[in-house]
Amino acid sequence: MIDPWENTNRKVFAFNEALDIHALQPVAREWDRLIPDAVQKMLTNFRSNLHYPVVLINDLFQANLKAAALETGRFLVNTTLGFGGLFDPATTWALPRYDQDFGLTLGHWGVDMGPYLVIPLIGASTARDLSGGLVDAGLGVVSMGPLAIAWYITAPLQTVQTINSRAAYLKIVEENRRAAFDYYSFVRDAYLQHRENQAREGGAQVGSGNDIYYPDTEKDSP
């Protein structure tokens, strides 16, 4: 059974939706209005570059040495020629970015996805992805070293990145909310299909069509 705790999940989903509609979405709209698209893209690129250690470690956990080499090449190019990751010349040099995380690593190791979960303030997940996310968070702290302890740096950075990511999906989220007969079921099914595709492909290339609307994809077209 994919969603054994549907009643509870729906209540958490409703809470997350209310928080988004009344708080995060209005802030993201103002952000999108005030911040140029080029700056938003630079912030997305920077976040992606910071995530490199987590992606690399998961590539190695999966014994995917080719992906690890490509990710390392991408990181070096964007860190140097991309001014610390603000720009993304690596993509134009056939070094595209791939999504990778410990939830996918667990799937690679044969761990079942487990029941579907909706996490307060976070959203769609599964038992496997929740466990994987905790490991990724730990890997991120280790990779950032002393900076991870400096909450006055990480907290504002995470806040800005959350708003910036939400601004990228203003149009498509509104369209899906209007079009879906049951938006909860739509998000659940889209998420599970997305993660299934990623696990099957060993991590999906961003922009490959497997990203429904998840962080770090391209900004909505006007």
pLDDT digits (tens, 9 = 90+) for 12-56: 999 999 999 999 999 999 999 999 999 999 999 999 998 999 999
Find out whether 104 and 199 touch, Cβ atoms under 8 Å.
yes
Burial of 195 (0-12, 13-18, 19+ CB in 10 A): buried
Tell me what the pLDDT averaged over the chain comes to: 88
End-to-end CA distance of the chain: 39
How crowded is residue 38: how many other Cβ atoms within 10 Å of its Cβ? 8
Whole-prediction pTM value? 0.85
Q: Average the pLDDT over 120-128 and give the result.
A: 96
- Bridge partners, 98 (sequence order): 205
The number of angstroms, rounded, from the C-alpha of 84 to the middle of its chain's C-alpha atoms is: 20
Q: How many helices and strands, by DSSP H and E, does the chain display?
A: 12, 2
The single-letter code of the amino acid at 39 is: V
pLDDT by residue (tens digit) across 44-89? 999 999 899 999 999 999 999 999 999 999 999 999 999 999 999 9
Say how many residues make up the chain. Answer: 222
- Bridge partners, 126 (sequence order): 116
The single-letter code of the amino acid at 221 is: S
Reference 207, options 57, 41, 79; nearest CA is 41
Q: Which residues contact 193 (CB under 8 A, 6 or more apart)?
A: 212
Give 168's DSSP letter.
T
Q: Which residues contact 172 (CB under 8 A, 6 or more apart)?
A: 213, 220
Query: What was the pLDDT predicted at 210?
Result: 37
> In what helix (H) or strand (E) does residue 150 lie, and over which residues does it extend?
none
Burial of 78 (0-12, 13-18, 19+ CB in 10 A): buried
Burial of 103 (0-12, 13-18, 19+ CB in 10 A): buried
